Structure 1
């Protein structure tokens, strides 16, 4: 039986391919071989969380060598208790360093449709707002060309092409929220295809909404927010005069540029309330990451000192 996964055509150039050694990234790398206009660098980050993780690194290095591709290895020492967020930040820091080293156009990651739905459900529980429902998407520096493919399709492709991969034993640990959703929640939803299809449609609707909102948000940000590095200054009067939904988005974007990730919705709501009510000279620490302070005309947001 013939079976394939159709990737979008990626513009010619150099790209960093994030390869963990699992089936998703192995299939991604195999598919990218069919686009000869690409110069690929295989990048693997060993988080230093699992004792057997060095085996994954050796496997990926052999795979890259067999394909005649450049290999980059990043070594972390995060320890067994590291959170998913800590691991993600360390991994993407390494990947972006590789992108700069090779002057690559972008990073290519192996996220697929199941990942998108799992992330949507996790963010729904965490209260990250509407953007959390569509947080996995492709953008200029990070391509995710397999988002239309399901996990079942990826496994079928790997078996058909007799690919080999490494299984991360921690992926079966249901004490981890993502694994619990992957192994306990999503399979139950998939038993009712209409309900699962509704989640997929919701995810795609959020991506469409993002495409419409982001250009407007960029315009507002450039008009109202100044600063760079570890400090941003926001026009306080203009911020509080905007509709609340627009103010929330502006603050979320400020946090992304300042700390590299969005805050929970409740934290952003507290920042907006602080901007509206605090007297000049007051300070407010948010989630241990940033400190806000007010002047008569500005809300100043700074990275917390470590």
Structure 2
């Protein structure tokens, strides 16, 4: 269930009430998101400037004009959200501890629970950092029995992510990887970066600027810089994203029918009937394997080469052989069955 909230020109897609892990880096996007969530949660008082909330649950015609009506508004939104602020220090920058301290103090200000981690990665890899970050967030969600993880991805991120995933060769799923899932919510997907900055200025909100954001050796930064000079391209990609959501949903429905015929999900693994899989057309094999991997790990990003290697291994690998695909996924082969399994992640030091 989503609540469409128009606030300072921002269309926010609120998830239903519940317990959530909120990913906060300290940057402007996540800090603005946390401010909006904190205002609506039971742990933070309603701000006078935040009374102008418009959605299908709260009236916009009658603004409170006395203390009694304001108390009524507070009761109305009380206990909407229970928030746990989560911060990841990738350990790449000498000043990254400053970001951690900023987010921790922000959580204390809002009287929210806070957990952070510092990744210990084998090398300076964007993919490894992303894998470690998401593993930490998903583990927190399970540990705290939270409804979902909330991230601050916004409308401008859609175009960037499409181009990044096309470059990686992640296939059709990469065109809509920012879509919401059962355990990942993105309330700001209809909000632009400019709107986030406007909200930040209007509320005098402080945030930190990652010193690596200007470094174009990072893929996302380089693409962001190019998109900044081609706004029409960004808008067209956002339209493609909307169309692909519908198309991918239809394809996934068809794959769901095939899945029942060739595989069986058992806990943290999916067993694939090798003979039934081998009987499928090669393109369908590839789409089905990607579909099954995403069933295990909705954040997995396998490129075309990895998917091809995985499908080939199901078709031809000897029993007892293990094929590592990436994104913490491996295939364990037996004579009649190949099992898709999640594997361990980068070592992390958890801080509280």
Q: Place the TM-score, normalised by the shorter chain, in its bin.
A: 0.7 to 0.9
Q: Does 1:19 align with 2:58?
A: no
Equivalent residue runs for 1:246-265 within 5 Å: 246-257=284-295, 261-265=300-304
Q: Which has the higher contact order (CA 8 A, sep 6+)?
A: 2
Question: Structure 1 stretches of 5 or more lacking a match?
Answer: none
Q: Quick one: distance in 2 between partners of 1:180 and 1:159?
A: 26
The 8 Å contact of residues 12 and 191 in structure 2, kept in 1 or not, is answered as no
Q: Does 1:116 align with 2:158?
A: yes
Query: Among 126, 132, 143, which residue is 1:90 paired with?
Result: 132
RMSD: 2.8
The 8 Å contact of residues 291 and 301 in structure 1, kept in 2 or not, is answered as yes
Match of 1:241 in 2: 279
Query: Shift of residue 254 of structure 1?
Result: 3.2
Query: Shift of residue 235 of structure 1?
Result: 1.9
Match of 1:225 in 2: 263
Query: Shift of residue 231 of structure 1?
Result: 5.7
Question: Structure 2 stretches of 5 or more lacking a match?
Answer: 1-6, 41-76, 346-352
Rate the CA distance shift 1:58–1:266 in 2: closer, same or farther, 3 A: same
Match of 2:251 in 1: 213
For these two proteins, the number of residue pairs brought into alignment is: 298
The 8 Å contact of residues 172 and 248 in structure 2, kept in 1 or not, is answered as no
Equivalent residue runs for 1:283-298 within 5 Å: 283=321, 285-287=323-325, 290-291=330-331, 293=333, 295=335, 297-298=336-337
Query: Shift of residue 284 of structure 1?
Result: 7.4
Query: Among 188, 197, 213, which residue is 2:229 paired with?
Result: 188
Rate the CA distance shift 1:28–1:69 in 2: closer, same or farther, 3 A: same
Query: Among 162, 167, 171, which residue is 2:213 paired with?
Result: 171
Match of 2:235 in 1: 197
Query: Shift of residue 140 of structure 1?
Result: 0.8
The 8 Å contact of residues 22 and 167 in structure 1, kept in 2 or not, is answered as yes
The 8 Å contact of residues 255 and 262 in structure 1, kept in 2 or not, is answered as no
Query: Shift of residue 238 of structure 1?
Result: 2.4
Rate the CA distance shift 1:252–1:43 in 2: closer, same or farther, 3 A: same
Q: Does 1:105 align with 2:147?
A: yes
Q: Does 1:51 align with 2:94?
A: yes
Q: Quick one: distance in 2 between partners of 1:93 and 1:127?
A: 22
The 8 Å contact of residues 118 and 186 in structure 1, kept in 2 or not, is answered as yes
Match of 1:266 in 2: 305
Q: Deviations over 1:125-163 (max 9, x none)?
A: 121111111111111111011111121221122112211
Query: Among 89, 95, 103, which residue is 1:60 paired with?
Result: 103
Query: Shift of residue 59 of structure 1?
Result: 0.6
Q: Deviations over 1:89-134 (max 9, x none)?
A: 2112221222223221111000112212111101111211111111
Equivalent residue runs for 1:155-170 within 5 Å: 155-170=197-212
**Which TM-score applies when normalising by structure 1?**
0.86
Q: Quick one: distance in 2 between partners of 1:230 and 1:104?
A: 19
Match of 2:189 in 1: 147
